[in-house]
Structure 1
């Protein structure tokens, strides 16, 4: 198999699916370009702020991409390249892109509120609170893990630290130039995108070596972690248009540059796959503790999350993106389009390691210092060497790009965690505006917050609590042991979102199949994976197994509430007939 054929086939498949399936979804959901979006009706200059479609695509794409579409496919290649490629192609279109489209649509139609608000309407107040706690735990884990990973990158690759700091400083100037109508979007892009790549070059020339400055790698890691937590706090409370929108938009060019570099390398190198399509790891690596069946069946689908389907995307879509979308006609290009571009990146990640001999890849995979992002960077750098680009420069640039994606996911996750925390203190059928003030559905009882509720849901206080709790995880060893459960919890969030979508489709009398089938599949796969995870770690890692049990109980409770809701719906329909 030639990697170029796989890539071209994937691009054609995604393009046709976007045009045909995307049009079908727009018709089923009833997209109305004339309908006023919450970014306009609730505009406050803080979180609710309409953005041009291109800027919003950049924010959304950079936020959901992170390192997930690279890390997951590279790890999943241990089972061969074909299972990973098939799940990305099929899952990205019929599960992931539909999931993101639906989450964004439901949030926009519910005044920019999170998916938890929709869950309350379908499953009640208890269902909302369970889901919010589930999401909050996952988001704090994301903040903690990405803080650790980015800090480690800053210490090991000082050029990344310099470039990342410069990225942050130029973003507000881009925002002001647009907001004050000093430059059009095209003019501002023409000025600031070259500056972005200048920052990359300056990082290589003037690396910020924290180890040399502070005397030891341990001190450097501590300083980097504290600095990143402070950055996450500031990024979460600043108005979205000052930092989040412009930096994510500019970072999207870095991400696109990475993809174009990879595409050019694949076209020029035309890598032949040396890795088998399907592999049983036990046959080649007897002590790998992996089995092709049944482990492949559930674990593949939670290993590759962001490249095919990810519950985190629903939180981004309903947490920040829905508050910035200017028209419902942008839901398809932003929600669905960004997911499919991410699928293309995931296919590139598979190609970057599939050209290796399986024995060589397995040797890397089972080594103690295996880093999936470095394996991706090395593969693409090998391809682009055919273009005359030095291998070392290619590796450095690609590692920098991946770190920028992780930093974007970090600040977005911090802001989303703040939104989720604020929603925990809202009364029934309530929503939150930017400052944590309560916004009620028309006709719903207002209900009064107690002083302590108002204090805890304040923007500054809630962000501080989130950062402190995440910081406790950052400076403990537990987060590194908890990380494996994130894959299952992430997909379980997607399953729950799809479940609520199905209930909404049922209640509104729309077609069910495109929501019901993915919901059933993801629910079974996620719970199956959690059961395997709990069973394999019960003896040695009680904490991890305990967290898995909590997630499993939460999922079962929500499923029970969903079953009860469906029974009530059909009982009411029978009563209407009689």
Structure 2
């Protein structure tokens, strides 16, 4: 139990001290007009209070990632918690902070445009396509997950729940942001908090041993390698490129740059806390990885969530906790499609005040999304995992380029960017969805790609700027 609270304390201290350090390096300007003020349109550019933005941002980025990922990551043992803590503080929260703050500085533009300003037009066009593909994968993953949970709880056909959730997504994608997202998400946030706190308290009150196998060794029952699989499996709970697609949504609603640390860095720390809870639940409730693996074989992470919540909190509390788990993916899936609409609108320079124009983009997106939803969930999740971490890597390199151009300390982004490059490249080489190489060869290639990327970055950007560069607007 002390190990758990030590991890919680580390995350909080990381926000207080390292979050402040990162914020000071960036240098927010409280007197600078934000896009919500200079480009207000009543649809996407709308001032929202910081408290509401935090809850919306947390729900936007959370999804199934900090629940399903850490449950699967729990198979590796307590080493998963180390990655959640270190990843959240030094990689994930840095990534989320810069994806939000750079969007504010670039008139609320979507992440492909922000990447293009810093890394060039080639990366911009690649990111547009890559981001839309990732957002479609996210939207589908966050339809199928809750649909299966709701199907298990209600007896209604999963396909029917998919249709119902898609209907909600469609409305949330085309309506002004304050109509649904701005009103409902703060309420959903209360359910989310109940879920995490309630289950943790129940675990303690009922006398569960938090970490029966307190070791940093790899205890995966199938002997799957910790490197690089755990760093892909636990994505949203430590670092997630999906967040970079969500931060611009709230960057268009921020009233003052000084709120950036709490809204972007802080929301990622909040997600890290959720991931800690679910990784701990997976280890403590099932006592050993083999039992957890057997539960996953019955019905995947959705079955594990249902079993843990109902057992620890009883029928009523368990229902509320499961509803919280349902809300998380739904509240990210809708904004995934909304983000995809905005990226496409930016590409075509298509103003979005008129409902007809929003429909013109949304209808094809949902048609494609429905077709993808027919694929096997496990296959979609694996592709999502790699694409997610690859996008995060590119965004970290973007943040590093921005900082070095501004003559600021770029290593806060460069170091995690180099590490994540090694993770993504190794996984692509090793995994069956990639090249299926032996792990040792894939690792050498991954490390080589990371070193090569760092070298090229330093050659292209490493010299001192000749003049003070101002790339804070486009």
Residues 61 and 243 in structure 2, CA contact (< 8 A), matched pair in contact too:
yes
| Equivalent residue for 1:529, pick from 416, 419, 427 | 427
The answer on 1:39 being equivalent to 2:36 is: yes
The answer on 1:296 being equivalent to 2:234 is: no
| Equivalent residue for 2:409, pick from 504, 511, 520 | 511
Residues 430 and 436 in structure 2, CA contact (< 8 A), matched pair in contact too:
no
Secondary structure at the aligned position of 1:370 is classed as helix
Higher Cα radius of gyration: 1
Residues 236 and 463 in structure 1, CA contact (< 8 A), matched pair in contact too:
yes
| Equivalent residue for 2:246, pick from 311, 316, 330 | 316
What is residue 76 of structure 1 aligned with on the other side? 73
Superimposed CA distance per residue, residues 388-424 of structure 1 (whole angstroms, 9 cap, x where no aligned partner)? xxx2333322211101111111111110111122233
What is residue 498 of structure 1 aligned with on the other side? 396
CA shift, 1:571, in A, is 7.2
Mark the runs of 5 or more structure 1 residues left unpaired by the alignment: 159-208, 212-219, 385-390, 427-431, 438-454, 540-551
Secondary structure at the aligned position of 2:431 is classed as helix
| Aligned counterparts, 1:202-241, within 5 A | 211=156, 220-241=157-178
| Equivalent residue for 2:367, pick from 468, 475, 492 | 468
What is residue 200 of structure 1 aligned with on the other side? none
Question: If the length of structure 2 is used for normalisation, what is the TM-score?
Answer: 0.88
Distance 1:565 1:338, change over 3 A: closer
CA shift, 1:564, in A, is 6.4
Alpha-carbon distance in structure 2 between the residues aligned to 1:301 and 1:310? 10
Alpha-carbon distance in structure 2 between the residues aligned to 1:366 and 1:150? 16
The answer on 1:246 being equivalent to 2:196 is: no
CA shift, 1:575, in A, is 12
What is residue 147 of structure 2 aligned with on the other side? 151
Residues 191 and 320 in structure 2, CA contact (< 8 A), matched pair in contact too:
no
| Equivalent residue for 1:434, pick from 352, 365, 373 | 352
What is residue 347 of structure 1 aligned with on the other side? 276
Structural RMSD (CA): 2.8
| Aligned counterparts, 1:357-376, within 5 A | 357-358=287-288, 360-365=290-295, 367=297, 369-376=298-305
Residues 422 and 436 in structure 1, CA contact (< 8 A), matched pair in contact too:
no
Secondary structure at the aligned position of 1:153 is classed as helix
CA shift, 1:326, in A, is 1.3
What is residue 259 of structure 2 aligned with on the other side? 330
Alpha-carbon distance in structure 1 between the residues aligned to 2:316 and 2:61? 26
Alpha-carbon distance in structure 1 between the residues aligned to 2:326 and 2:132? 23
Distance 1:326 1:564, change over 3 A: same
Distance 1:39 1:423, change over 3 A: same
Residues 377 and 394 in structure 1, CA contact (< 8 A), matched pair in contact too:
no
Alpha-carbon distance in structure 1 between the residues aligned to 2:259 and 2:199? 28
Secondary structure at the aligned position of 1:157 is classed as helix
What is residue 420 of structure 1 aligned with on the other side? 343
CA shift, 1:513, in A, is 1.3
Residues 194 and 321 in structure 2, CA contact (< 8 A), matched pair in contact too:
no
| Aligned counterparts, 1:391-406, within 5 A | 391-406=314-329
Alpha-carbon distance in structure 2 between the residues aligned to 1:496 and 1:84? 24
Alpha-carbon distance in structure 2 between the residues aligned to 1:79 and 1:477? 28
| Equivalent residue for 2:113, pick from 111, 114, 117 | 117
| Equivalent residue for 2:358, pick from 436, 459, 479 | 459
Question: If the length of structure 1 is used for normalisation, what is the TM-score?
Answer: 0.73
Superimposed CA distance per residue, residues 521-570 of structure 1 (whole angstroms, 9 cap, x where no aligned partner)? 0111011112112477769xxxxxxxxxxxx9xxx9xx97x976754545
Residues 58 and 252 in structure 1, CA contact (< 8 A), matched pair in contact too:
yes
Alpha-carbon distance in structure 1 between the residues aligned to 2:465 and 2:408? 15
Stretch of structure 1 that moved more, 117-126 or 523-532: 117-126
Superimposed CA distance per residue, residues 452-493 of structure 1 (whole angstroms, 9 cap, x where no aligned partner)? xxx9xx32111111111101112x235542321211110111
Alpha-carbon distance in structure 2 between the residues aligned to 1:563 and 1:231? 46
Mark the runs of 5 or more structure 2 residues left unpaired by the alignment: 438-444, 469-474
CA shift, 1:296, in A, is 0.7
CA shift, 1:305, in A, is 0.8
Distance 1:156 1:359, change over 3 A: closer
What is residue 275 of structure 1 aligned with on the other side? 213
| Equivalent residue for 2:123, pick from 127, 130, 133 | 127
Residues 64 and 328 in structure 2, CA contact (< 8 A), matched pair in contact too:
yes
Secondary structure at the aligned position of 1:62 is classed as helix
| Aligned counterparts, 1:143-222, within 5 A | 143-158=139-154, 211=156, 220-222=157-159
CA shift, 1:35, in A, is 1.7
Alpha-carbon distance in structure 2 between the residues aligned to 1:151 and 1:43? 36
Residues 352 and 376 in structure 1, CA contact (< 8 A), matched pair in contact too:
no
Superimposed CA distance per residue, residues 365-390 of structure 1 (whole angstroms, 9 cap, x where no aligned partner)? 562x2332442453455455xxxxxx
Superimposed CA distance per residue, residues 496-526 of structure 1 (whole angstroms, 9 cap, x where no aligned partner)? 0001111111111101111110000011101
| Aligned counterparts, 1:80-119, within 5 A | 80=77, 82-119=78-115
